[in-house]
Amino acid sequence: MARQLGANLLRRVIDRSLKAEAITVMTMPTLLDPRFKKLGFLRPTKLDEAVTRLKGNCAEIIRNTPSSTPPQQPETSQSTDNNDLWHLLDTTVGQSRQSSSATADATIEVDRYLREVNLERHEDPLLYWSKQKHQYPNLYQLALTYLCTPASSVPCERVFSKAGEIVSKKRNRLNPNTVKKLIFLNKNQ
């Protein structure tokens, strides 16, 4: 009986973990937490998908960050008829080069970060990112976005304590709709 209970609990934990691997809001912080990185994934396919998403997000930051080098101006052509055609070609090639460069830079930065040794469990990931922000500037921006302070459960606990005050042994026959209304009114006083 105890073994069956343990097996059922383990199966349910794994099922829930597998579902969490498909949620971006959960996979990005896992990858960006230097204590876990790749270790937070049970399926290699979901790890690959998350790493690809991380590289895409990193490339997007690189594309949106203003470059310190001024863009090169194409040489002016003397023929005005051909000028529009060459300008269009130069613009297209420049955008293509910039896009592939951002993707390559993001891939290099993410791969370098993932190859590093994981932090110890008790170390602070936010302190790590504040120290590494110059080595991984784009991942640092993503870490600021995804590694936020966990939400507090205090408001929920207040509602439950109010419910405990409203529904007591003496008032246990209240209609559920009446209880909901009383909790709402007490919470919003």
Kindly report, residue by residue over 76-90, the tens digit of the pLDDT: 445 555 677 777 766
Tell me which amino acid residue 37 is: K
Tokens 């784009």 — which residue? Answer: 138
Q: In this model, does residue 99 exceed pLDDT 70?
A: no
Domain ranges, ordered by start, for the chain:
2-66+83-146, 154-187
- Side-chain-side CA neighbours of 106 within 13 Å: the count stands at 23
Through-space distance between the first and last CA atoms of the chain, rounded to whole angstroms: 49
Rounded Cα gap, residues 28 and 23, in angstroms: 9
Kindly report, residue by residue over 112-164, the tens digit of the pLDDT: 999 999 999 999 999 999 999 999 999 999 999 998 766 555 666 666 666 66
Q: For position 156, what pLDDT does the model report?
A: 61
